[in-house]
Structure 1
């Protein structure tokens, strides 16, 4: 009986997330690769502040990729919400996901808000179910979508974003305090932060800190962050191929996709693995990313490109050193994930 309840609770949490991720990943993969190609084709010597948009061809790839990539969190949130709230949950889910994407909460915020919107729609349907049949069309097309969007917007703006904002401020202060304490330690921390929540507030804080350093003429931090961000998709890809018995068939399929996702440095490719096995995946990837970031700093690697993964690696001041750093992080992370993750049990009907 307890096992059945545990499975029911697990499915109520995991199934909506996996449904949302299934719709989100095409946006991540297509958008990320196009952005990476845009940076690869551009010439940063024309105008570094406009990198990715200096030539017409580069601008086409970067702009198109960015447009698709920015749908990632709205799509994730909307389809998590739709799992419980059906089609009526899509407007609120899109609004919440968009607010999370332009705000500070990122992936984690979209995840939480997706469940909030879904259950909010279920509640609203029960509340407005007593309305007369003559108002059923108004209820479905106007009242429920409008109320859900207003409630979701209020929760996002007044509760979720401020809470995450406090966390971001504390993390930024920590990174600023470490700036003068040693480059290697800063590289380990910023690189490892990339894998803590795979696109959430911790990941965003490290990236924004590195972006701010770029504007101040410090390029080593971005190199460490990009090295850390490229590790998770490759760790999950290699681990799913080498340690096959520890991954589901769906995870093994996603693993092959992550070889491509990793080339563009899309950390979010590891999210499907994180959802099913959070502690082994986060732990192994944080160690691997921290190692990659620390080695990148130690070897004096620097880069001006703010995104692009392997596609922009040739622009690194120490291309060989950066690739070595990434390879070391991937190797250690893969071994740790293979050792720490439990083997998948076959379900017998």
Structure 2
């Protein structure tokens, strides 16, 4: 009987890596002769959920996660923990290590996994930030698209109170986008201090919105709320008989009060000024500054949807709430160009690629059109020296062109499918020209570099 492996995959945003890792583990496991079941924890919740019986009967357990999950189901079992990216790129190694008990650890008996998952410093901070963004993302997507639909009735139609356009605008711009920063802050704090940090994070994020410190202020409020709550929980000692009073009265009052006053009297003014300065700079982009920003966008996307790409993506999302849409268009192009360029290269020079790569190129075409950069990962993992420079150069060219032509996007996801919604993309022609330019440059660079490495330079 084949050995049984169970796994959980969960990336920070719960969109692409989560499902790619699951597919790679399942396919590779089958090739190795194992029975593999993977639970995916995406933005819409857990799918293919593992039963306790399946967990108990498993010969190996893999947790390929880049954010916090409830590990209480695995208490007392040996598990192999790894990043989602490793499961995407090195599924064979991950499975073999899990089966052979290499690098595994026993999940201790605490009911909840520690919020930092044993990690410190920059990596832990990144995970908390991505947790907040993963909860915020659906709100921004819905808010941005509904707001754009309101403009389809006329740029000022939303001012007619009681009209359909007004309804779309109130729901999208006022309600959904108005909740963007508070939700971000609340779930950053929740990631750090569990549910005890939620209240202070929510209030801190709301204040960040009202005082004009926006997305940056919301991030600060979330981390402040989380760590203040952790500190209070650690150092305020009460008898067990009144522990409930501490949890629902003492800590919430103190944490909300401290975060509120810090946001109002310390953080608010300088962050608001900085936020206004960044917005003003982006609105006045021209000439050399466009080139610099475009190059930064292309270079930061070197990891194809990884941590650096997500930092740029988070920055662009924050600017949407400020009414600055150019960086989102440039960022989306940087994310679409790698898989689209690879797809074009595999279609144009079919003899340079294996049959498996040509099939993967077709998949990359659809993934790229949907703004799922991870379609380029299998190619980059196999030949990074060729693929990564081509993707970075093409992304930079596309971003610079997009910024120069004044393209903008008011929704943070969707790719070419956003063309179906009037008003989401400003200067559609400019956006498509930029996307085409970046795609063709990536394809051309990929073909040239691949020929060089194959010893077939012309």
- Please report the TM-score for the alignment, with normalisation by the length of structure 2: 0.47
Q: Which residue of structure 1 aligns with residue 253 of structure 2? A: 146
Q: Among residues 185, 188, 206, which one is paired with 2:287 in the alignment?
A: 185
Hey, what's the Cα distance between the residues in 2 that align with 1:112 and 1:258?
Answer: 34
Quote how far apart the aligned CAs of 1:151 are.
0.9
Aligned-pair CA distance for 1:102: 3.3
8 Å CA contact retained: 1:106, 1:201: no
Decide which of 134, 148, 169 is 1:22's aligned counterpart. 134
Task: Name the residue aligned to 2:154.
Answer: 43
Give 5+ residue unaligned stretches, structure 2: 1-102, 104-117, 298-310, 344-362, 373-390, 412-417, 447-458
Task: Report the Cα offset of residue 90 of structure 1.
Answer: 0.5
The Cα shift of 1:109 comes to: 2.6
Matches within 5 A, 1:99-248: 99-129=207-237, 131-168=238-275, 170-171=277-278, 184-185=286-287, 188=290, 204=319, 226-239=325-338
Measured against aligned partners, the alpha-carbon deviations of 1:60-114 in whole angstroms (never above 9, x if no partner) come to 2222222123222222221121122111110001111222233443333322332
The CA deviation at 1:201 is 10
TM-score after normalising by structure 1: 0.59
Question: Against the structure 1 CA distance between its residues 230 and 123, is the aligned structure 2 distance closer, same or farther, given a 3 Å change threshold?
Answer: same
Query: 2-side partners of 1:236 and 1:15: how far apart?
Result: 21
Q: Tell me the distance in 1 between the aligned counterparts of 2:191 and 2:268.
A: 24
Q: CA deviation at 1:116?
A: 2.0
Q: Who wins on radius of gyration, i.e. which is larger?
A: 2
**Structure 1: gaps (5+ residues):** 212-224, 245-251, 262-280, 339-349
> Structure 2 vs 1, CA of residues 133 and 314 (structure 1 numbering), >3 Å: closer, same or farther?
closer
Higher relative contact order (CA 8 A, sep 6+): 1
- Structure 1 residues 135-154: Cα deviation after superposition (integer angstroms, max 9, x where no partner): 32221111111111111112
Q: Note the alpha carbon deviations across 1:260-295, whole angstroms, 9 max, x for none.
A: 79xxxxxxxxxxxxxxxxxxx999877744432223
Q: Is 1:57 paired with 2:159? A: no
* Aligned length, in residue pairs: 272
CA distance in 2, matches of 1:323, 1:228: 12
Secondary structure of 1:70's aligned partner: helix
Alignment check: 8 A CA contact 1:230 1:326 kept: no
Output the CA distance in 2 between the equivalents of 1:148 and 1:258: 44
Q: Which has the higher helix share?
A: 1
